[in-house]
């Protein structure tokens, strides 16, 4: 096994508070989550629908980002004992001797077994990413994870189907025991839905949000084949392929092949992507019966190696129809989180489905070593994982077209690019593109989680260093600019006056602010529509705000609420931060002018810097701007309907 290089200092981190956690599904994602959470000190219960976790599946890749996590969970050694470390990937079929690409490439594109391009994986991956690229039988990986989960004390119940979670998503699950027929409810501190691409919990969560959650057929299907070594002993060509730790990638019109040896070269794993049958192009059809004859017919005229591989397949094979899902609006609700294929199913073209499920598990466990606040931890999890996983999933979808191009000028240009200098960086096949490898394999999500939390923790420590800052921070506006949605509107309480005056001002401000537009900070100063009519959905916010204004001084619970909103604010494209609504110091709305005015306000300015680093996005710091009529407010009151009132609304 290649040496793992890992400078991570957080492997010994433990949970802030031991929680009871229910995991739905004992697949690779669910078991990895169980191991990661049990490893940090939580009590884990896993429910699996099938009656027995058996040795099923075919080959699966262990990319460096997955190997890094498995190493920290102390299972990589066992995994690599059963894995094959790939030395390189070989891209084939082009007639490399011909100079007439457009003619000769089409005539010999599939009949030739010449190597068009090669991309090294050893020792490059170990040197660059600290871990190799391995391949393993999915069943072997699942068994290793299962044994480790049991060793760490995870309670695993097979033949137990989780029917639903509590409608309020309060970490309570309804379970059906398939052995006894008993149905019961079980409560915990958190529920993780790792129940796969057909997740019932995802459907329940999306239904509660009014979101239509339906798969979209891609038009492609996959044959997954395992050719035993004893079946090819009289086939020198295939046997020689099995004895090389090389991934073979054949690109063809409408499909492609990925092949590599597993289980000590005793099996040859082949994945053949091809157009799905028209009669199976339905969102309800996931698997269908295929045949060796159909495969051979599709690959007629391809290279001799491909023909021989497929000739060794069983007569009857299964086809997996490939589907994509639109990005979900959220992965979490209440104390429930989605994980793995339940929230980001990926097409197989970049081999990152299992690796990203492991990243989900690692980030969740790491977040809970930072805080015992379940909902804040889940917000951190979604903030760190959602955009990354969605980008990788989109990259996989785009790669399908690259690999399946029909013959023609576009395909020729692609092939020429693969053999040109610098091909590894401009390679449209994202699995072997160096920049995409850096993104997929080089990012350490556990380190990112700790770093983000460390920056946000600095914010929380400011209140101790600045006694007056707690109050200002409590009533700071954290706005999600991407949705132009107000998280809290308690800044009015920063103003002068008695309790009754504040209450009255807040009530009048909400009642009178009927403008349809407000200032926002997003790519400069733009006018964004806002719902400011108190007769619309803002009525509940009005009741909440005016109620809180009657309870002074500031309650510690309000401080805690604002802290928990940091996770929400981190999801925005940018964040607006302000101290209150009573300072009349701004005379223009230019960003530079605002920032120069804010420099004397050391605590708020320091907070802006910390948030900018922690969120890795723009944080604009201001004292006060009026939003009612998209203009600056010269005084602390405005004349509305011939009546002078203190303005409640501001920048969003």
> What is the per-residue pLDDT across 269-278, written as a single tens digit (0 to 9) for each?
999 999 988 7
pLDDT at 249 over 80: yes
Q: What angle do CA 502, 504, 506 make, to 5 degrees?
A: 65
Write down the pLDDT at residue 185.
97
Share of the chain above pLDDT 90, in %: 39
Distance CA 343, CA 356 (A): 11
34: pLDDT confidence band, cut at 50, 70 and 90?
very high
pLDDT at 71 over 80: yes
Write down the pLDDT at residue 107.
34
Q: Which of 187-196, 205-214, 271-280, 558-567 has the highest mean pLDDT?
A: 187-196
Distance CA 443, CA 439 (A): 6
Question: What are the residues facing 31 on neighbouring strands?
Answer: none
Higher pLDDT, 27 or 429: 27
358: pLDDT confidence band, cut at 50, 70 and 90?
very high
Q: Which of 169-173, 381-385, 456-460, 584-588 has the highest mean pLDDT?
A: 169-173
pTM above 0.85, yes or no: no
Average pLDDT over residues 172-180: 97
Higher pLDDT, 580 or 313: 313
Q: Residues near 120 by Cβ (< 8 Å), separated by ≥ 6?
A: 87, 88
pLDDT at 537 over 50: no
293: pLDDT confidence band, cut at 50, 70 and 90?
confident
pLDDT at 225 over 80: yes
Q: Which of 223-227, 411-415, 580-584 has the highest mean pLDDT?
A: 223-227
Distance CA 13, CA 362 (A): 12
Q: What's the chain's average pLDDT?
A: 74
Write down the pLDDT at residue 253.
86
pLDDT at 345 over 80: yes
pLDDT at 500 over 80: no
Distance CA 341, CA 647 (A): 48
Lowest-pLDDT range of 39-48, 423-432, 447-456, 606-615: 606-615
Distance CA 563, CA 557 (A): 10
392: pLDDT confidence band, cut at 50, 70 and 90?
very high
Q: What angle do CA 31, 34, 39 make, to 5 degrees?
A: 130
Residue among 637, 642, 613 at smallest CA distance from 626: 637
Domains (range + CATH), the chain: 1-83+130-213+329-400 (3.50.50.60), 87-120+215-324 (3.30.9.30), 466-645 (no CATH)
137: pLDDT confidence band, cut at 50, 70 and 90?
very high
Q: Which of 13-27, 218-232, 280-294, 470-484 has the highest mean pLDDT?
A: 13-27
328: pLDDT confidence band, cut at 50, 70 and 90?
very high
pLDDT at 449 over 70: yes
pLDDT at 46 over 70: yes
For the chain, the residue count is 652
pLDDT at 26 over 60: yes
pLDDT at 357 over 80: yes
Asked if residues 57 and 83 have their Cβ atoms less than 8 Å apart, the reply is no
Write down the pLDDT at residue 596.
56
Ramachandran bin of 641, using left for φ above 0, alpha for ψ from -120 to 50, beta for the remaining angles: left
- pLDDT single digits (tens) 627-649: 333 333 344 444 544 544 433 33
Write down the pLDDT at residue 389.
94
pLDDT at 495 over 50: no
Buried b (16+ CB within 10 A) or exposed e, 559-593: beebbebbbbbbbbebbbbbbbbebeebeebeeee
Write down the pLDDT at residue 205.
96
Lowest-pLDDT range of 42-46, 364-368, 416-420, 564-568: 564-568
Higher pLDDT, 170 or 125: 170
Q: Is 269 helix (H, G, I), strand (E, B) or coil?
A: strand
Dihedral sign for Cα 250, 256, 261, 267, please.
negative
Distance CA 248, CA 579 (A): 60
Torsion angle (degrees, nearest 10) of CA 184, 185, 190, 195: 50
57: pLDDT confidence band, cut at 50, 70 and 90?
confident
- pLDDT single digits (tens) 501-533: 444 444 443 333 333 233 222 222 222 333 233
633 is in an annotated binding site: no
Share of the chain above pLDDT 70, in %: 64
Sheet holding 246-252, edge to edge: 115-120, 88-92, 246-252, 255-262, 267-275, 216-228, 316-324, 287-291
- pLDDT single digits (tens) 108-134: 344 567 787 788 887 777 778 888 899
> How buried is 136 (Cβ within 10 angstroms: 0-12 exposed, 13-18 middle, 19+ buried)?
buried
Question: What are the residues facing 216 on neighbouring strands?
Answer: 324
280: pLDDT confidence band, cut at 50, 70 and 90?
low
- pLDDT single digits (tens) 581-627: 333 333 333 445 545 544 545 555 565 666 666 656 556 554 443 33
Distance CA 190, CA 498 (A): 43
Distance CA 253, CA 543 (A): 62
């Amino acid at each position: 096994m290649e040496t793992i290089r890992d400078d991570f200092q957080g492997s010994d981190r433990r949970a802030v508070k031991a929680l009871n956690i229910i995991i739905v599904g004992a697949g690779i994602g669910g078991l990895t989550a169980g191991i990661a959470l049990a490893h940090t000190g939580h009590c884990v219960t896993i429910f699996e629908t099938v009656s027995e976790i058996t040795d099923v599946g075919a080959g699966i890749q262990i990319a460096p980002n997955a190997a890094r996590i498995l190493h920290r969970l102390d299972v990589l050694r066992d995994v690599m004992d059963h894995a094959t470390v790939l030395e390189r990937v070989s891209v084939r079929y082009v007639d490399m001797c011909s100079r007439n690409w457009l003619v000769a490439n089409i005539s010999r594109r599939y009949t030739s077994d010449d190597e068009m391009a090669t991309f090294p994986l050893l020792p490059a991956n170990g040197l660059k990413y600290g871990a190799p690229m391995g391949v393993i039988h999915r069943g072997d990986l699942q068994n290793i994870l299962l044994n480790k989960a049991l060793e760490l004390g995870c309670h695993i119940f097979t033949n137990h189907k989780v029917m639903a979670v509590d409608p309020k998503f309060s970490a309570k699950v309804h379970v059906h025991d398939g052995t006894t027929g008993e149905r019961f409810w079980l409560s915990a501190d958190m529920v993780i839905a790792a129940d796969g691409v057909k997740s019932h919990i995802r459907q329940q969560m999306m239904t509660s949000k009014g979101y239509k959650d339906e798969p979209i057929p891609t038009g492609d299907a996959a044959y997954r084949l395992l050719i035993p070594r004893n079946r090819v002993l009289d086939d020198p060509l295939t046997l020689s392929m099995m004895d090389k730790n090389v991934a073979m990638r054949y690109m063809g019109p409408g499909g492609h092949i990925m092949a590599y040896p597993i289980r000590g070269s005793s099996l040859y794993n082949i994945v053949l992507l091809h157009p799905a049958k028209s009669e199976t192009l339905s969102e309800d059809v996931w698997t269908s019966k295929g045949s060796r004859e159909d495969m051979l017919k599709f690959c007629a005229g391809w290279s001799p190696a491909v023909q021989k591989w497929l000739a060794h397949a069983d007569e009857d094979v299964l086809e997996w129809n490939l589907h994509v899902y639109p990005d979900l609006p959220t992965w979490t609700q209440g104390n429930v989180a989605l994980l793995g294929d339940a929230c980001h199913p990926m097409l197989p073209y970049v081999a990152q489905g299992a690796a990203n499920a492991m990243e989900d598990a690692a980030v969740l466990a790491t977040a809970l070593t930072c805080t015992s606040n379940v909902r804040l931890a889940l917000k951190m999890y979604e903030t760190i994982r959602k955009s990354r996983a969605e980008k990788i999933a989109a990259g996989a979808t785009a790669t399908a077209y690259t690999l399946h191009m029909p013959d023609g000028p576009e395909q020729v240009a692609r092939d020429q690019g693969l053999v040109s200098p610098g091909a590894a960086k401009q390679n449209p096949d994202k699995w072997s593109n160096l920049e995409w490898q850096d993104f997929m394999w080089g990012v350490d999500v556990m380190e990112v989680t700790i770093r983000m939390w460390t920056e946000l923790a600095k914010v929380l420590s400011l209140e101790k260093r600045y006694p007056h800052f707690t109050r200002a921070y409590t009533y700071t506006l954290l706005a999600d600019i991407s949705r132009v949605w107000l998280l809290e509107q308690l800044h009015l309480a920063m103003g002068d006056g008695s309790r009754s005056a504040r209450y009255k001002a807040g009530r009048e401000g909400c009642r009178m602010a009927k403008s349809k537009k407000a200032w926002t900070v997003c790519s400069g100063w733009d006018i964004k529509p806002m719902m400011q009519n108190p007769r619309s959905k803002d009525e509940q916010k009005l009741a909440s705000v005016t109620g809180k204004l009657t309870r002074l001084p500031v309650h510690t619970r309000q401080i805690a609420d604002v802290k928990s909103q940091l996770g929400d604010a981190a999801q925005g494209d940018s964040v607006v931060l302000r101290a209150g609504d009573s300072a009349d110091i701004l005379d223009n709305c230019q960003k530079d002018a605002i920032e120069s005015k804010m420099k004397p306000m050391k605590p708020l300015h320091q907070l802006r810097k910390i948030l900018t680093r922690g969120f890795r996005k723009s944080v604009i710091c201001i004292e006060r701007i009026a939003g009612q009529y998209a203009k600056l407010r010269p005084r602390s009151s405005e004349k509305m309907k011939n009546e002078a009132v203190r303005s409640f609304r501001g920048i969003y």
